[in-house]
Structure 1
């Protein structure tokens, strides 16, 4: 039990005693606790079923002086290697027989009983298992021999392995523990045997191989999975999800608990809030739990999906989503878009607002619209007007129908929070304005590269009057602008425009006076585009230099004659290689050369009638200089250049296909690195990174490595080019954790946050004191966290955080954060006096107090967290009352600071205590807001060991009585010894 005991009523300062009890540690440790981790759940793996083929269930080798164990099978490539856990050796029903009526075979069971035997001699339709030490060269192990021992055999029946000799069966291994089950096996050998099973179902056979290398005994073990009879389908699973609490504030942990049935399902549960992956947790006994404070603001749909470890054992499943409502601390409403009506008609005014959020310094709102067309990129709404900074007003057209709107809260260019989307429903008919100008109806959809006819009707033009086509980005823009002189509708009417040029736009015809005044405008027009299908024929996965390529293309729907085909191979940086001498035919034939490596095939089809693009297709064109039969690894060519936010895909082709025990590694060398480094978190034959300007000039390559560490093949090196056409990086850096005020001697703990995320992780912190000509770099602070000792001369100083490359080049810089320091304070260690002045209550005073009859907080018993890496105890601060009777209401700050916990000689530092402040009551009209949450250790270096605001009232606010509280959380290390821990927390009102 954790107890919080405040002292009695006081002016200016209130102290409380915190008591925490921890019982015997061993009694509270859960057995086999599941682990939780950030990021998505590991992908499922699928075991290869080995049936009717030659299999060495155990293949022994040596690598780097260590014994290695694999399984091998003759599949598309003889001797394809696998990790033993990656395969199922399937003893099919074709192997079913009966036990011979011979006493020598009594170890298999009674004569005539059923048995399944994979035979020593190859038989069609039945798997042929064996053992080998062919990976052991002469002298690789002492004595040129190993011991192979069967240490465990489980399954629905008995297991027996034997060979035939002239005198009858010779038993090698048996599920019967009475047999020795140890086989002396020479190096460089290969041997088959009879593998017998007495019942259908799954068997797990664990082998241990023993040998001495250089006089040092070694052992390696592996479990081989056999299945007798048809391999059954994966067991279906079901999942459920619960969240506690379902209503919370930002920064407060929420426990997500998933159950998976059946309870023995192996895998992990991935938890997400909308598109945000919160983390994953291993399933243990049918349960997986994740404690997270990462759920974004708003009413979030939280999901959980079970990802099985092996797809042959269990199927995936998804739980019914739950809703978790996360509010901004102190907010009285949900964080959401309000004001949406069910239906609108063209011409209505859309009026929306963001509720449940108070903008802080340097924060702004950006409205984002997402089209129902998945091919169209989201757009930012320009020309936003409304009743306040959190409002949006727009006159609607039917172009808005089906669009999703979100509001982003941003500091600089960093995104702090995003609302849940709302969908617009807009019907009716678009109308023009002013004098009548009518455009004849057009099609809703056109193909690329065709001419769109435009016919208009209007009154006769007077002298000086003119007609002009105007356009704007549909949904994104409010203002109209003249269409491009070349690409817009041309001529004096009737007009036409090539379909490609008005995609994602609204356009209209204006009647203008001689002075440019718009006298009338037609209703806005728009259409969608679709591309004809282009089918490629003759393309192979891999070409070797010297071979001949023969490609063809067809367009559907067919346009007949009048098409031009441009065949090119593109390389990063815009390097293009024209194929087939530019014949512009639907076929291309050419010899493959080394110059074609690391390129992408790019076919463009043009209409001769409009001279515009009808469609295109890009596909990898993989070329190798390797000889036939050599192991080859190629990487599909990356694009000429990327824009920030688009994926850079690295897709590999291997010939022959890799073994399951082979590993693909991706490597990159950023422009600020002197060497290549392995890209973390990669798996399989493809990987993607999100482009950003920091990756411009990054070199990438991949290699294929076998389980012995030998590099089998390496791709050529390619370069990523990121070009945003002169725009600055979209990332922004925000400094979090700034307190309203500090005292000299405090420590300012600031955190830099970058949004959108970046591959860069290095920071430079700079401090500029008042009067200094330039900022000074804080030595040794190169991470996202800064602990800055506060001195009197830092009052009014600005702090900036710069995200930099590893070589020191600055990428983006935060807005400055200004430090406020109360009073000069004495220099540490020097002579000092404390001056205390008290204002009598009759003249007005600021008083902070607690109720002497309500001065104990009982917190929860300590429990291990979901990751079993900390002790946690939670509770609620008893009400703290602040009364301000001072004339003028100058405002105030109430802060709290805890001392270290002690239990005899044991100490628990105060950094392990944190809180989430709340304002439970405030004077009418008083703008009292809670302080920022303080995270306890181990995730924090300070917790409440430094003074942290509980609540703040700005000047002109806080007059009268306010009631404050906080959610308290202790997160202690698992090394904490049992005992009663006491500490004092002190509140200060200034």
Structure 2
């Protein structure tokens, strides 16, 4: 079936790939016999792990709560028909095909209606691998069309990571503690097998490899003959205190496009189940009270008017509150979750950086000076805790006397985390060396100062950086100034 091309282009993707680092909550292990189709939500499709001297590739399935670790052999990734779009009339994207031709694209910024796959090394520890990195390769692609994975720079230009139509394998080096997303583009409908492989060298010079691992993708409608959909309810804790929030999630296995649910409850003494009015989504949240103790809850999934699946009941247990003296008072404080925001700031009285006068380096071929960026504060109070990335760029050159200038790219930095809240998991961005002919560099382009992972970025962190200026010897003497612009997304 031909899918309708969505009115969607690349303009929404120009913010750049989401690449964060830090600790993540360990997901539960899945049953070896459990096979799933993932078509919506977040998943670390290529999840690199190292345990007991062995490197492996897994799937960190974050479409369910709590997240589940799965064997790639048990997962089919579905690119829904809604992912169809036209190749833009922009020569930068000619590698995707002729302008106006149809592709199916999973974007690097999350679209709730589509799957959001990425790669992940956040469980890998520092000091285990040479260079604190692993090499991730796309070894082979089998299917009816071409497959390309690419990110985009701050101006929306493509940065190709893996591309099947110009020769494989393709490889990238991925630092440990990295969580990244890209655009996944497929040129034709049908079934694909992507073979990924991870390789690394341990600090004792021993090499380890996963070997090629098959990943199954289907672009378009899933073919028939698959397992029937089952439904379960996750999120019920062993016990709640009165006034705790209970959040239950209906989980489909395998995942389908059906999205209409019904929630029902049955409390002690009741013979029949009661429909919970107004709850038709996959999640149901409510407040635990003593009156609800021992009540049962089920979810039903509907296909039009027919029930497609019904979950097993889960039971709510609410603890008895401790006895309090008759003279006590209960004081409740709350924070409005709708008032959260992400703010990056500097102290208005501490925002000027004065580098020491440049000196000739030991080779006598560059003027160099070193200094420190003034502290930068990032505060995230958003309830969803989506994580964040703070970056800096000098959009204009340094200017000096008599209209003399030199490129902002001659300034580089080494980011640092000066302070952070408990559990934030903030990490410093990579070092950016000053510009060198033939290899680029410098802060004339956007560079990451620091980042916090999804689910753990809430709070206040303070970032800094060591600055290094390296200039050609022909630079005219004088005092030069430029402005560093800081952003957080």
Whether these two folds match at TM > 0.5 is: no
Higher strand share: 1
TM-score when scaled to structure 1? 0.21
Higher relative contact order (CA 8 A, sep 6+): 2
